Amino acid sequence: MRKILILTTGGTIASVQSPDGLVPGITSDQLRAYLPQIGPEIAIEICSVFHIDSTDMTADHWVAIAEAVQRSYDEYDGFVITHGTDTMAYSAAILSYMIQNADKPIVLTGAQRPIGFEITDAKSNLQDSILYAADPRSRGVQIVFAGKVIAGTRARKVRSMSYAAFASINLPEIAEINNGRIIRYLTDEDFCNPDPARRQDQAQEPDRSANPPDSGVRFSTRLNPNVFLLKLTPGMDPRLLPEIFRLYDAVVIESFGAGGIPQSLEQTLSEELNKYSPEEKVLAMTTQVTYEGSHLETYEVGRRIADRFQLLEARDMTLETAVAKLMWILADAEQTWEQIRSRFYTPIAKDTLL
């Protein structure tokens, strides 16, 4: 028998209609009444971690989820986390760093319509997630939604209302689930360990995991939430930059196209960065374009800043993953710029292939 623990966090799947719109209102005990018929070979237990709209998700909530998995990890064969869709991609990304080398599945799912509605995607998503979490071949952090299995580091919400809410960005889907059958396209083991062919030399880096290397699953429950995502707009006022750099330890700039900084911002950006060492204020570049990633070397506006500043480039990472990875990396103090850079570019759970 396979034992599955469902961890509830609120979200649309557990919402009810109120005079002011949908609000989380179904408890974990009430959720049990809606569970699909799975079969006697799977035993399910339910535990509430918290009960919020996912818009209110914070780093403290991510720590609470990771700690809930850690406390019960040895007791269960798989985990299903019910979660609101709006920030699910961020949560899946950050949990991919907080729970590494998992030999069990940690599945996030939710719904576009509450489970108590007559017409809903919640029951099918929950059923697919339980089946996937109960399969001995499943492992690592993934999103299961609308019959698709997506790596936790590659998911993005691309539709606000339709059932097919999530897409896998710059990486094929891991699997599909059709009528209770799992059709696998990628091997789940690929998502547990950094690719040794792409691993950069980290011999001089201290072990920063909660568990020693090669000990199986590794939990890390510290985050630095002081990472700011700045979306460029044409003609943006550079006077924003000093306050952003004062308040945050890292700034991820979501640039246009292949990547670059407008000349109108470059001088102020240079002045701010010159006030700090690269490890004190980390600058990272990503793109507003959904697919194919950033390529700073393509245009002069990108090459100019790449040559002028010490920065990180997200390349084919999603913006959610770039933000999450920096929150995880910067939770550790007293790192050099070289260590931060090496950790950012070391692939984890297929977060980057470039």
Closest to 84 measured CA to CA, from 115, 105, 60 = 115
How far is Cα 141 from Cα 152, in angstroms, rounded to an integer?
A: 5
331 CB-near residues (< 8 Å, 6+ apart): 220, 222, 223, 224
Q: Which of the following is catalytic: 12, 82, 318, 352?
A: 12
220 CB-near residues (< 8 Å, 6+ apart): 66, 97, 98, 100, 208, 209, 210, 328, 331
Q: How many CB atoms lie within 10 A of CB 229?
A: 17
Q: How many CB atoms lie within 10 A of CB 348?
A: 22
12 catalytic, yes or no?
yes
How far is Cα 206 from Cα 189, in angstroms, rounded to an integer?
A: 25
Burial status of residue 294 (CB atoms within 10 A of its CB: 0-12, 13-18, 19 or more) = buried
**Residue indicated by tokens 């998995």:** 69
Q: How many angstroms from the chain centroid is the CA of residue 37? A: 30
Residues acting as catalytic residues: 12
